[in-house]
Amino acid sequence: MAEGNELGEFLRSRRARLRPDEAGLRSYGGRRRVPGLRREELAQLAGVSVAYYVRLEQGNADNVSAEILDAISRALRLGGDERDHLHRLAHPPRIGHRGGPPRLRPPLQHLLDSITHAPAYVVGHYTNVVAWNRLTAEIFVDLAEVTPEERTWTHQIHLNAGYRERLGGNWEAVACRNVAHLRFRAGQDPDDRRLRMLIDEMLERGGDFRRLWDEHRVVDLTHGEARITHPRVGALVLPFETLHLPGDPDLSRLMMYAAEPGSVDEGKLADLAASSTRRSSSDLVGAA
């Protein structure tokens, strides 16, 4: 991950996206020399001196209070994930070194295998797919055919041309969400060496990844909607929910998808479940 003034870069990116009228400031016309708010305008909105705010953009967050960070968050119209990210950049957390490969408890794999009519999988802290059921392989990517080193959603989204084609016109939204989540994770654990290596690899290999990374979007992945064009059944729209796994510190969350009851998508999932020959992660373990 590129070293530098992450705090200053984030503040500048959020300041540049906010127009004066959106912040409640009067516009007197004429051409502005900078996009978005000026430092002086933001300092005024946040109730701090210009010199103080300039020091923050220079990366000097020594002794900055939570109250001031909240005031700046309000002035910048930050969302909840962005506000938390700003606090973490100003006061970086120290989580500590993570261990080796994530361990999957057998009941989690049994749970995945019992979900036969919808995709479900477990991911680690690096978007790495630790375990999955057969419909995950059928609908998204046949992970049994992917090397363990690239068995992450980050690799598949940015480097797998076949998966990008399956995402179609939805690729940009999925890629933005992935990069914004990596920003979120980098703020949570700035000393995580494995995470830094993943981001650095994508910055070198990932095509549009650098463009999206430089936008400084930040979002946690909690719920949403997957849109896929499957070669056999066509378009699929699948809402998803994420479930955290607090009892498994090496893992991040369980992702579960479900079609709307009685919908065409539900029927398509049933057809795929009945005919798919894709392998789940438990099939790989059994073949080992």
- 204-222 pLDDT per residue, tens: 986 799 999 999 999 998 9
Whole-angstrom Cα distance, residue 225 to residue 239? 4
Rounded average pLDDT over 237-265: 93
Q: Specify if 168 maps to a domain.
A: yes
Whole-angstrom Cα distance, residue 109 to residue 107? 5
CATH number at residue 228: 3.30.450.180
CATH number at residue 35: 1.10.260.40
- Which of 19-28, 226-235, 257-266 has the weakest average pLDDT? 19-28
pLDDT tens sequence across 48-78: 999 999 999 998 888 899 999 999 999 999 9
In this structure, are 27 and 128 located in the same domain? no
In this structure, are 64 and 137 located in the same domain? no
Whole-angstrom Cα distance, residue 24 to residue 181? 30
Q: Specify if 72 maps to a domain.
A: yes
Instruction: Kindly state the tokens that stand for 270.
Output: 């049933």
Q: Is pLDDT of 286 > 80? A: no
Mean pLDDT of the chain: 90
In this structure, are 191 and 146 located in the same domain? yes
Of 90, 122, 152, the one marking the end of a domain is 90
* 269 vs 20 pLDDT, higher one: 269
pLDDT at 288: 43
pLDDT at 249: 86
The DSSP code sequence of 160-172 is -HHHHHHHGGGHH
- Prediction pTM value: 0.86
Q: How confident is the model at residue 3 (pLDDT cuts 50, 70, 90)?
A: low
pLDDT at 177: 96
Instruction: Kindly state the tokens that stand for 245.
Output: 């796994």
pLDDT at 158: 97
In this structure, are 174 and 210 located in the same domain? yes
In this structure, are 267 and 164 located in the same domain? yes
Q: Which domain holds residue 241?
A: 106-287
Q: Specify if 262 maps to a domain.
A: yes
Other CB atoms within a 10 A radius of the CB of residue 240 amount to 17
Rounded average pLDDT over 264-281: 94
How many percent of the chain have pLDDT more than 70?
Answer: 92
Total domains, the chain: 2
In this structure, are 194 and 233 located in the same domain? yes
> Taking Cα atoms as reference points, which of 59, 123, 95 lies closest to residue 192?
95
The DSSP code sequence of 59-78 is T--TT--HHHHHHHHHHHT-
In this structure, are 67 and 181 located in the same domain? no
The CA-based angle 222-226-227, given to 5 degrees, is: 160
Rounded average pLDDT over 9-16: 93
pLDDT at 1: 47
**CA-CA-CA-CA dihedral for 211, 215, 218, 220, to nearest 10:** -30
Rounded average pLDDT over 273-281: 92
In this structure, are 175 and 254 located in the same domain? yes
> Taking Cα atoms as reference points, which of 250, 211, 245, 221 lies closest to residue 124?
250
pLDDT tens sequence across 104-162: 999 999 999 999 999 999 999 999 999 999 999 999 999 999 999 999 999 999 999 99
In this structure, are 84 and 112 located in the same domain? no
Whole-angstrom Cα distance, residue 125 to residue 140? 20
